[in-house]
């Protein structure tokens, strides 16, 4: 008889979702501070969408990990905390922030969530949830790249 893949351990999925919700929450907060100091209306518009989506991604991940029996408690790592610090800092230029964010993901890569999506294969609901969130993240990254290029052209 064919047996279905049992999928990942729920505790492992809970841990992944917890780390993800903490990262998205920290990202939304940092982008919110960037918006507060940003004078470019194009950037403000797109960043508002990114902040709103990141906050909702955090809420979705938290709801899912609670549905699986977990509780949120993760804190972001030092590297991500440092990145958020730069993004939130009103003294750092928009151009530097954009370059830092788009430089984290090579152009050849599909997006930052690919590995996470693959790790929850076997848990259909979490997998589809993260796959759909990954679409948002890819759109955000594409937009950030476009804005980064636009600001570079305007500077030249």
Partner 1 sequence: MKVTHPDPERDRIVRFLDALRAAEAAAVRVLAAWISVCRFDGLRGGLRAIAEREAAHAELLEERLREMGEPCSATLDDVVLDMALARFGSGSIPDEEKLALVLARYPDDASAARPIRATLEQLDHDLETREILRLVAEGEAATVAWLRAYHAGLARDA
Residues engaged in binding partner 1 (CB under 8 A): 41-46, 48-50, 52-53, 56-57, 59-60, 63-64, 124-133, 135-136, 139-140, 142-143
b/e sequence 53-65, b meaning 16+ C-beta within 10 Å:
bbbebbebbbebb
Q: What are phi and psi of 68, to 5 degrees?
A: -85, 0
Distance of CA 80 to the CA centre of its chain: 11
Task: Write the DSSP symbol of residue 40.
Answer: -
Between CA 27 and CA 4 the distance in angstroms is 37
CB of 123 to partner 1, least distance (A): 8
Between CA 146 and CA 67 the distance in angstroms is 37
CB of 134 to partner 1, least distance (A): 9
CB of 47 to partner 1, least distance (A): 9
Query: Given the complex with partner 1, which of 45 and 103 has the nearer CB atom?
Result: 45
CB of 41 to partner 1, least distance (A): 4
Neighbours of 37 (CB within 10 A): 12
Between CA 23 and CA 5 the distance in angstroms is 29
Query: Given the complex with partner 1, which of 75 and 135 has the nearer CB atom?
Result: 135
Query: Given the complex with partner 1, which of 59 and 76 has the nearer CB atom?
Result: 59
Query: Given the complex with partner 1, which of 92 and 143 has the nearer CB atom?
Result: 143
CB of 86 to partner 1, least distance (A): 22
Query: Given the complex with partner 1, which of 60 and 84 has the nearer CB atom?
Result: 60
């Amino acid at each position: 008889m064919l047996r279905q893949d049992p999928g990942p351990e729920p505790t492992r999925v809970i841990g992944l979702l917890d780390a993800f919700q903490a990262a998205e929450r920290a990202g939304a907060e940092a982008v919110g501070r960037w918006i507060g100091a940003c004078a470019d209306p194009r950037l403000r518009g797109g960043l508002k969408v990114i902040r709103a989506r990141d906050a909702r991604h955090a809420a979705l991940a938290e709801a899912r990990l609670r549905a699986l029996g977990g509780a949120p408690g993760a804190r972001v790592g030092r590297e991500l905390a440092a990145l958020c610090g730069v993004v939130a800092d009103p003294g750092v230029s928009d151009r530097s922030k954009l370059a830092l964010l788009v430089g984290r993901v090579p152009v050849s890569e599909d997006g930052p969530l690919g590995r996470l999506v693959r790790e929850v294969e076997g848990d259909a609901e979490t997998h589809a949830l993260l796959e759909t969130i990954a679409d948002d993240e890819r759109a955000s990254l594409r937009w950030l790249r476009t804005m980064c290029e636009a600001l570079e052209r305007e500077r030249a």
